Amino acid sequence: MARDYQLKTPKREGTSGIDYRAALNEEQHAAVTSPPGAALVIAGAGSGKTRTLTYRVAFLLDQGVDPRDILLLTFTNKAAREMLERVRELVPQDLSMLWGGTFHSIGNRILRRHAEELGFTKSFSILDTDDQKSLLNTVVAAQDIDTKSRRFPKADVLATMFSLVRNTGESLEDIVAVRYPYFEDWFEEIVKIEKDYAAKKLAVNSMDFDDLLVLTLKLLEQDEELRRLYQKRFRYVLVDEYQDTNRVQSELIDVFVGQHKSLMVVGDDAQSIYSWRGADMEHILGFPERYPNAKVYKIETNYRSVPEILELSNEAIRANRKQFEKNLRASREGGSAVPALVPLPDPATQAQFIAQRILELRDEGVEMEEMAVLYRAHHQSLEIQMELTNRGIPFQVTSGLRFFEQAHIKDVTALMRLVVNRKDEVSFKRMVLMTPGIGAKGADKLWALWLKTGWAEQENPPAEFSPKMLEFTVPKKSQKHWEQLCYTLDELVVGEDFARPSSMIYSILEGVYEDYLQANYDNYDNRRSDIEQMMSYSENFADINELLTQLSLMSSADGEPSGRKEELDGEQVTLSSIHQAKGLEYKVVFVIWLTEGMFPNGRVIDADDEAMMEEERRLFYVAITRAKDELYLTYPQINPKSYTGDVFQAPSRFLDDCPNEMLEEWRVGGGGW
């Protein structure tokens, strides 16, 4: 005969004593104190999203919810730490049993307990990017793939392909056809590698980052008892930045929630800008349909920006059809500077204007760390970096390495440096190591042959490199690529002089480097755009030595990718892509290159895809909502330094969405006008 035994709820350490009505505005309070069930919180830019989530956790604890019943999912470890630290400050309870962290960290915790069900042990290794690359190289080597006639995708590219398949649900065939059409001839080999890579990970008891999500989902879907265990455990699930979830993350959330449906997701559809890495905005837009009884809360009070900026942002996003309509209201008083629209003649003048305005703002008391220059693509920062460097204005580049420190830029300049300074062993070896089949020992042998030509001792470059270089002994698989390299070097000289710098870059890109880019980098399009921008910039220089000197000065002497150590008062202006700036805020923001083809991106315009264009508009919205006090929207009217000739540039269509009365046009004179 069974005996009933009732557990008593242990006495809590105490409630927080928070006056939620006093601590929160009306919109936040409604979301924080909402009853159990499914809830979608649309939190506009600067509206206190983190505060809402933090107080929601505190409210649940104050209602007697056991910390172990709560699961908090975030996208960064930093966000998880900050939220839990704030909760600890609010609620005098032990939160050690509350599960809070990134999707990947939660997946890891579950897999550490149950990995045997998937054929792994609990002590499985997690592959970082370098580990993953190494393991993929091992798998490729075992295939004995013949790459003599054409390049095979490198490990980084393969890893990106496989990750997209797993996170988007698209087939590998579609991924290759749409994103990597130049590798379609290798499709059968790529399929085999994908299969063998999965088997290899199992054999060496290792998982990559995607496995932490995919295998957790697989485990919970195939084991009903385990699934019910975690559904019973996590009675309250909270999710941050829900608009950024991909297919696997969305399905994981649904599995965790199960039948109890006690789920609160917080996000902003207007800031969904990561579809290129698998995020699907349909998850947040379709939430009310997937959870039919869900309550939708909108938080529209903005604490960041002055009304003049906020009203502009509302108009800027209004043209998008697919969105939760919202109208952000400023809690700050008006009367500040109206957002500035600044047309400028060319990229150089755009850079001069921004540099001068930064110095003026600094003199007015704005700290440099409170200023940011934002752009659609990394290469659009080139002229800005040069101008700030020349004026001694310290800056940090958060969108990547400084322009001329990037690997693909250094690859291209290596060929130019070698032609100019034929004693440059570093540039020579960098150049030849890009040739398939040539490794470090081969590079040493080729360098010895190069020295024997006597070119290093000549004042002027030889009229042609190929006659002697084609006699160098290279592996058979390298022969075709080596020949093309030799002929490309020939094009870098004209008679006894050097070709124009822009012509040099064009010859290198078209002759040998484009194939290398496609095979070695998953973001080929962006890197090619960088090189084209460098080509345009080099039109400023007739002398290759002058250009190379400028490039050297731009490189960071201290080796720090984020910028120089010589800082003024420890402050630096931030240069960032808009994607990198999401979630941040600055007193002053410059949004640059607002022209058709630059922003929105030319590939999006050519695709004529409404969904893609709406994401571009959301990106513009994210950019302008980073500004607290002052906003400058700039664009060059002509790009006279384009390698294809002068290009007249139409203002971005996004500026058409901004009413004239909400902008103050600045007519900039002097300087290069």
3-class DSSP string for 513-544: HHHHHHHHCCCHHHHHHHHHHHHHHHHHCCCH
Lowest mean pLDDT segment, chosen from 25-29, 96-100, 569-573, 578-582: 569-573
Give whole-number Cα distances, 1 to 4, 5, 7, 205, in Å: 10, 13, 19, 47
Q: Tell me, what's the pLDDT at 559?
A: 34
Count the neighbouring beta carbons within 10 Å of the beta carbon of residue 445: 14
pLDDT value at position 541? Answer: 83
The secondary structure of residue 500, as a DSSP letter, is P
Which two structure tokens, joined as six digits, stand for 531?
A: 């090189």
Q: Output the six-digit token pair for 638.
A: 């002509």
Cα–Cα nearest to 83, from 92, 73, 93: 73
pLDDT interval class at 565 (50, 70, 90): very low
Measured in degrees and rounded to the nearest 5, phi and psi for residue 526 equal -65, -40
Work out the average pLDDT over 395-411.
81
The pLDDT tens digits of the residues spanning 1-27 come to 678 787 665 545 457 788 999 999 999
CA proximity to 357, closest of 387, 316, 314: 387
Residue with tokens 């957002």: 339
* pLDDT of 285 over the 50 cut: yes
Active site residue 661: no
Q: Place 644 in a pLDDT band, splitting at 50, 70 and 90.
A: low
Residue 148: how many other CB atoms lie within 10 Å: 14
- What stretch of H or E contains 263? strand 263-267
pLDDT of the residue at 552? 67
Q: Does the structure show a pLDDT above 80 at 75?
A: yes
Catalytic residue among 626, 628, 641, 653: 626
The Cβ of residue 24 has, within 10 Å, a number of other Cβ atoms equal to 21
Task: Show contacts of 669-672: CB within 8 Å, 24+ apart.
Answer: 671/349, 671/352, 671/353, 672/345, 672/346, 672/348, 672/349, 672/352
The helix/strand count (H/E) of the chain reads as 30, 21
Concerning whether 240 is annotated as a catalytic residue, the answer is yes
Q: Which of 50, 138, 147, 637 is catalytic?
A: 50
> Does residue 478 have a pLDDT over 50?
yes
Listing DSSP states for 35-86 in one string gives: PSSEEEEEE-TTS-HHHHHHHHHHHHHHTT--GGGEEEEESSHHHHHHHHHH
Confidence category of residue 492, pLDDT binned at 50, 70, 90: very high
Computed from CA positions of residues 477, 199, 120, 167, in that sequence, does the dihedral angle turn out positive or negative?
positive
- pLDDT class of 671 with cuts at 50, 70, 90: low
Question: Exposure of 390 by Cβ count < 10 A (0-12 exposed, 13-18 middle, 19+ buried)?
Answer: middle
> pLDDT band at residue 149, thresholds of 50, 70 and 90?
low
With pLDDT > 70 as the criterion, what percentage of the chain qualifies?
93
- 476 catalytic? Reply is no
Beta strands of 274-408 (E only): which ranges? 295-299, 301-302, 329-330, 340-344, 371-375, 395-397
Catalytic, out of 27, 49, 269, 383: 49
Could you confirm whether 49 is annotated as catalytic?
yes
Buried b or exposed e, range 586-595, using 16+ CB within 10 angstroms: bebbbbbbbb
Q: Judge contact between 495 and 463, C-beta under 8 A.
A: yes
Maximal CA-CA distance, the chain: 103
Is the pLDDT assigned to residue 540 strictly greater than 90? no
Mean pLDDT of 161-181: 92
Residue 51: what are its φ and ψ, rounded to 5°? Answer: -60, -40
Residue of 102, 271, 323, 595 with catalytic role: 271
Q: Which one from 27, 241, 244, 280 is the annotated catalytic residue?
A: 241
Question: What confidence tens digit (pLDDT) does each residue in 208-222 have?
Answer: 999 999 999 999 999
Helix axes 209-222, 247-257, angle to 10 degrees: 40
Whether the per-residue pLDDT at 670 is higher than 90: the answer is: no
pLDDT per residue as tens digits for the range 89-109: 898 888 889 999 899 989 989
Cis ω on the peptide bond leading into residue 600 (within 30° of 0)? yes
pLDDT in the model for residue 569: 44
271 noted as active-site residue? yes
* Phi, psi dihedral angles at 91 (to 5 degrees): -120, 125
Residue type, 85: E
Question: In a 10 Å sphere around its CB, with 0-12 CB exposed, 13-18 middle and 19+ buried, how is residue 252 labelled?
Answer: buried
Lowest mean pLDDT among 33-37, 122-126, 228-232, 287-291: 122-126
Catalytic residue among 27, 69, 240, 346: 240
Give me the chain's average pLDDT, please.
Answer: 88
Residue 50 falls in the annotated catalytic set: yes
* Rounded Cα distance, 294 and 38, in Å: 5
